Structure 1
Amino acid sequence: MPDLQAELPSTQNVPEHSQNRTEVFAVHGADPEVLAYAMAKYSRSALSMKESLKEISSQRAEQFLNTFYFQYGHRSIADLAHIAFAIERLSLLAAIELVDEQRWDGQERSTRYQNFRKSGWYLPEFGAEAPARARYIESIESSFAAYHQVADGMLAIYKQQVACPPEMKPEAYERTLRARAFDVARYLLPLATNTSLGQIVNARTLETQISRLLSHPVAEIRQLGESLREASSNPAWNVHSGDLAGLQKRIAESDPELAEEARAMLTREVRPAPTLVKYASPNYYQMESRRELAQAASEIMGGAPIAEAPLVDLVEKTESLEAEIAATLLYAHSHYSFRQVRDTVAALGEARCAEIVEMGVRHRGRHDELLREFSAGQALRFDILMDIGGFRDMHRHRRCTQIIQRLTALHGFDEPDGIAGTELAPVFAQALTAAHAAYAELAASATPETASSAAYVLPLATRCRALFKMDFAESLYISELRSAPQGHMSYRRVAWEMYQAVERQHPALARHFRATDVHEPVDLLKR
Structure 2
Amino acid sequence: MADSFTEDEKKILEPYFTNLDGPVFAFTSRVPEEVVAVLFSKYSRSAHSIRKNFLDLVKDPESGFGGLLESVGSGSNDAFTAALAKARDFFRRILVEYGDDSVGELGMAHVAFENVSQIAAKKIEDARLASPLEKSTRYVVFEKGNYCKPSAIMRSEFSNEYMALCDELFGAYSSQLEPMKAFVRERWPIAEFDFNGRRISRMADEHEVKRAKSAYESSVKAKALDILRYYLPAATFTNLGITANGRAFEYLILKLMSDELEEMREIGRMMHEELLKVIPSLVKRAAPSSYLAETRMEMRAFAAGKLGGVQQDKQPTVTLVSYDKDAEVKVVAAALYQFSGHPMGQLRKMAEKMTAAERIEVIDEFMGRRSSRRERPLRAAEAACYQFDVLSDYGAYRDLQRHRMMTQIPQLLTVENGYDLPPEIPEAGIEKQFTALMEKAAFLYRKIAAKMPLEAQYAVPLAYRIRYLMQFNLREAYHLIELRSVPQGHPSYRHVVQEMFRQMNAVHPTLVHYMKYANMDELDALGRLKSEFRKEEKLAAIGKTI
Report the TM-score range of the alignment, normalised by the length of the smaller protein.
0.7 to 0.9
Match among 476, 497, 500 for residue 498 of structure 1: 500
TM-score, normalised via structure 1 length: 0.73
The alpha-carbon deviation at position 189 of structure 1 amounts to 0.8
* Counterpart residue type for residue 31 of structure 2: A
Q: CA deviation at 1:35?
A: 1.1
Q: Tell me the distance in 2 between the aligned counterparts of 1:119 and 1:512.
A: 48
Q: Structure 1 residue 479 and structure 2 residue 485: aligned? A: no
Task: Say which SS state the counterpart of residue 281 (structure 2) adopts.
Answer: coil
* Mapped partners of 1:219, 1:439: distance in 2: 18
SS at match of 1:316: strand
- 1:99 equivalenced with 2:151 (yes/no): no
Gaps of 5+ in 1: 1-14, 235-271, 320-376
Distance 1:490 1:131 in 2: 35
Match of 1:120 in 2: 146
Q: Which of 511, 519, 523 is the aligned partner of 2:522?
A: 519
Could you tell me which residue of structure 2 aligns to residue 397 of structure 1? 403
1:91: how far off? 1.4
Contact 2:396–2:493 (8 Å) recurs in 1: yes
Q: Per-residue CA shift, 1:301-344, capped at 9, x if unaligned?
A: 2421111111111111589xxxxxxxxxxxxxxxxxxxxxxxxx
Give the structure 1 partner of residue 465 of structure 2. 463
In the alignment, the residues of structure 1 paired with residue 93 and residue 503 of structure 2 have an alpha-carbon distance, to the nearest angstrom, of 50
8 Å Cα contact 2:144/2:167 also seen in 1: no
Query: Could you tell me the TM-score, scaled by structure 2's length?
Result: 0.71
Whole-Å Cα distance in 2 between the matches of residues 318 and 306 of structure 1? 26
> Equivalents in 1 of 2:301, 2:142: separation in Å?
38
Structure 1 position 130, deviation (Å): 5.0
| Cα displacement (A) at 1:73 | 4.7
What SS does structure 2 have at the residue aligned with 1:217?
coil
Matches within 5 A, 1:305-344: 305-317=311-323
Q: Could you tell me whether the CA contact under 8 Å between 1:119 and 1:194 is conserved in 2?
A: no
Distance 1:456 1:476 in 2: 34
Q: 1:47 to 1:521 in 2, by over 3 A?
A: same
Task: State the AA in 1 paired with 2:433.
Answer: V
- Report the AA paired with residue 520 of structure 2: D
Equivalent residue letter for 1:291:
M
Instruction: After superposition, give the CA deviation of every residue in 1:190-249 in whole Å (9 maximum; x if it has no partner).
Output: 111111111111000000000100111111111100110011123xxxxxxxxxxxxxxx
Q: d(CA) in 2 for partners of 1:501 and 1:45? A: 53
Residues 304-453 of structure 1 mapped to structure 2, 5 A cutoff: 304-317=310-323, 379-445=385-451, 450-453=452-455
The offset of 1:159, in angstroms, is 1.8
* Residue in structure 1 matched with residue 232 of structure 2 by the alignment: 189
Asked whether 1:44 is paired with 2:45, we answer yes
Are residues 1:284 and 2:293 paired?
no
What is the one-letter code of the residue matched to 1:43? S
Residue deviations 1:418-477, cap 9 Å, x none? 2233311122111111112111111112xxxx5432111111111111111111111122
| Partner of residue 225, structure 1 | 268
Note the C-alpha offset of 1:273: 1.3
Question: Counterparts in 2 of 1:246-325, with a 5 A limit?
Answer: 272-317=278-323
2:102 corresponds to which of 76, 88, 91: 76
Deviations 1:370-403 (A, max 9, x none): xxxxxxx972101111111111111111211111
- Alpha-carbon shift at residue 295 of structure 1 (Å): 2.5
Q: Which residue type is aligned with residue 522 of structure 2?
A: H
Task: State the shift of 1:480 in Å.
Answer: 1.0
- Size of the alignment, in residue pairs? 412
C-alpha displacement of 1:128:
7.9
In 1, Cα distance between the equivalents of 2:24 and 2:44? Answer: 18
1:356 matched residue in structure 2: none
Residue 24 of structure 2 is matched in structure 1 by: 24
C-alpha displacement of 1:488: 0.5
Alignment check: 8 A CA contact 1:155 1:177 kept: yes
How many angstroms apart in 2 are the aligned matches of 1:92 and 1:128?
Answer: 18
Aligned counterpart, 1:364: none
Question: What pairs with 1:206-225 in structure 2 (closer than 5 Å)?
Answer: 206-225=249-268
Deviation at 1:51, TM superposition (A): 2.6
Q: Does the residue aligned with 1:224 lie in a helix, a strand or coil?
A: helix
Distance in 1, Cα, partners of 2:156 & 2:291: 34
Classify the secondary structure of the residue corresponding to 1:420: helix
- Are 1:179 and 2:222 an aligned pair? yes
Gaps spanning 5+ residues in structure 2: where? 4-20, 58-62, 66-83, 192-199, 204-208, 326-382, 532-546
Hey, what's the Cα distance between the residues in 1 that align with 2:262 and 2:154? Answer: 16
RMSD value over aligned CA atoms?
2.5
The equivalent of 2:34 in structure 1 is 33
Q: Does the residue aligned with 2:151 lie in a helix, a strand or coil?
A: coil
1:110 and 2:136 equivalent? yes
1:117 partner amino acid:
E
Instruction: Give aligned-pair identity as a percent.
Output: 33
Deviates more, 1:287-296 or 1:105-114: 287-296
The answer on whether the counterparts of 2:144 and 2:170 sit within 8 Å (CA) in structure 1 is no
Asked if 1:161 corresponds to 2:164, the answer is no
Q: Cα offset for 1:414?
A: 0.9
Q: Alpha-carbon deviation of 1:519?
A: 2.1
SS of 2:133's equivalent?
A: strand
User: Secondary structure of 1:307's partner?
Assistant: coil
User: Does the Cα contact within 8 Å between 1:151 and 1:184 map onto a contact in 2?
Assistant: no
Residues 432 and 24 of structure 1, relative CA distance in 2, 3 Å threshold: same
